[in-house]
Amino acid sequence: MQNGRRRIGARVPSANSRSTNRSESFSEYTSIQKSVECPICGIELPNLQSLNDHIDITHISTEEETQPKHQDFVNSWFSRTINGATTLHAKAAQRLLKLEPYEQNGDRTGAIGIEATKLTDSVVTREHWQAEVVDMKCHDPTCDKILNFMNGRIHCRKCGYVFCNFHTLYQAKLSVSADYDPEFGFWSRICRQCYENRPGYNDVHGQTRSRYHTFEAFRKSIADKRRIEFLRLDKRMKRLESLWSSEKVSVFDALLKNKAKKLEQEIVNWQEDSEVETCPECGNVFTLTRRRRHCRLCGRVVCRFCVLEILHSNQFQNLLICNSCNQNYFKTLAFQKDKDHIPGYILHINHLQVFRHALQNYITLYKENLADLLSGTIVTQELLQKTKDVRQRFSDLCLKYESTVKKISSYPVNTEAEEQIKHSICAEAKSFLQETALHLQAIPRLQVGQTWSSQMEQDASARKEEAEKKQNEYTQMKIVIEEQVFLVENMIREAKLKRKFSEVDTLVQSLKPLQEEIQRLERSIQELNGL
């Protein structure tokens, strides 16, 4: 209540009621409420009761009148949406048939993709195309679709075989004679096998540019500067050692530091104390507690916290050097000592461990790929090429492993114990290489799209037996011809001793065909060994 009138509104505590007792009546906490506006039409009303009445009378009735119209609009929108959704599948199928499967390949203007291949169909030759027959199937070995209007009937512009739409979604640049021409060719539609067999597809290394000479030029100046600095410090260090080991400096002079100081200044010029106000190593100002010291190798003035005291066995006092000289000289000496301490064959042994681990991984991978080839499934170009690559990498690693073993065996050692260790390592490495090479089976002669069967295995074993038989025959023939060569060479030697030069010419002419026959037999034996 205020001035005898009751105001309607939110009841909030007044400023005077905050200090009163909580047990007083709630009506004492009411405050003055200002006039309010209608949130819909903006009319100003005296209190909340008037606002509620205004909303009920003016706005609620209007919304009830307009609600049926709004409901009719929503129902009509839902009906139109449902009717339009019934034709979505037909529109989607039509859109998928016209979908562009190709990339633009950098072309921003003109026809691209399928449109570009259609324009070049009349340019690339069709003489090698496969003839079309009724109920043709896709030439891809993994596809058995019948070629029709829906699946498509597309000729590969490279090989000429007929495929479905899905298996000709590749393109390459071909010349007029249907050869690969990535520079001046025309974009043509090809199959997957022709796409993967194009030159450069299996290259694992992209375009590279060596930066070695550039970085070598930058590094050479720094390395030369450090090497010159090391040689200068090494020369000064040797002169200091000879100074302290000579008879010019006695124990008394070393304790007084007078004569020794003058001799040290003859080796390197000391920097004046007045020229330096801050330490060049840490940058702090010299104080009573941070006294000046001279480095005996470079002559610079540094603080006592940035010098190291090094004691040699032939010196009477410690040698003071700065952190920079310690890094440039003594750290370099320690690195060279550690590097020279490790024998060279130890590094080769570490390489053997790396090669052995890689060989074990490759032989496991090769067995898995070979098992997939011989499992009876259709051979694909990807699996066949992958198996060949693994076998080739395994062979290259075997050569590197063998060359590393030879380096270890030929490395000179100083003690007999090291020689025994080296001999044991080489013997174990050779046995490991022999055992590993036994698991490297030859890849069967399979074509893409074929399957490995028991009949093919029998044929392979029969071919192997026949090759071994021919190899034995060639070996026997080679032995017989070598005996004949030996006899002819003896006859030539005797004819020369007896001065029968006419017979020598005849025998030399008869020796050449025998040697050529031996070379031919050796080539045949090597070819049979590769089977």
78 within some domain:
no
pTM of the predicted model, to two decimals?
A: 0.31
What pLDDT sits at residue 331?
A: 81
What pLDDT sits at residue 15?
A: 45
26 within some domain:
no
Indicate the angle between helix axes 381-410 and 416-438, nearest 10 degrees.
160
- CA-to-CA distance for 221 and 218, rounded, in angstroms? 6
Indicate the angle between helix axes 416-438 and 344-373, nearest 10 degrees.
10
* 297-344 pLDDT, tens digit each: 888 888 888 888 877 655 556 778 888 888 888 888 877 777 666 677
Name the region of 160 (left: φ>0; alpha: ψ -120 to 50; beta: rest).
Answer: left
301 within some domain:
yes
Same domain (yes/no): 390, 365: yes
The CA-based angle 227-216-228, given to 5 degrees, is: 10
* 75-109 pLDDT, tens digit each: 676 677 776 665 555 555 445 444 455 555 544 44
398 within some domain:
yes
Same domain (yes/no): 504, 410: no
Same domain (yes/no): 189, 124: yes
19 within some domain:
no
Is the pLDDT at 6 greater than 50? The verdict is no
Percentage helix, strand, coil for the chain under 3-state DSSP, each rounded to 5 = 55, 5, 35
- Give residue 162's pLDDT band: very low, low, confident or very high (50, 70, 90): very high
Is the pLDDT at 140 greater than 60? The verdict is yes
Is the pLDDT at 226 greater than 80? The verdict is yes
What pLDDT sits at residue 23?
A: 40
Is the pLDDT at 164 greater than 50? The verdict is yes
Give strand pairing partners of 180: 174
The CA-based angle 518-522-526, given to 5 degrees, is: 170
- Give residue 163's pLDDT band: very low, low, confident or very high (50, 70, 90): very high
* Residue where a domain stops, chosen among 166, 201, 236: 201
Residue with tokens 């002419």: 509
- Beta-carbon neighbour count of residue 419 at 10 Å? 12
The tokens describing 136, both together, are: 């043709």
Same domain (yes/no): 309, 352: no
Same domain (yes/no): 320, 357: no
Q: Are 311 and 340 in contact (CB under 8 A)?
A: no
* 35-61 pLDDT, tens digit each: 778 877 878 888 888 888 888 787 765
The CA-based angle 358-364-368, given to 5 degrees, is: 140
Same domain (yes/no): 334, 230: yes
9 within some domain:
no
What pLDDT sits at residue 161?
A: 92
Same domain (yes/no): 434, 459: no
**Which CATH number characterizes residue 181's domain?**
3.30.40.10
The tokens describing 391, both together, are: 């076998």
Same domain (yes/no): 337, 324: yes
* Residue where a domain stops, chosen among 284, 317, 341: 341
* Residue where a domain stops, chosen among 306, 322, 341: 341
Domain hosting residue 528, numbered range = 454-531
Indicate the angle between helix axes 381-410 and 344-373, nearest 10 degrees.
160
Which residue type occupies 72? Answer: D
What pLDDT sits at residue 495?
A: 83
**Which CATH number characterizes residue 375's domain?**
1.20.58.70
Q: How many domains does the chain have?
A: 4
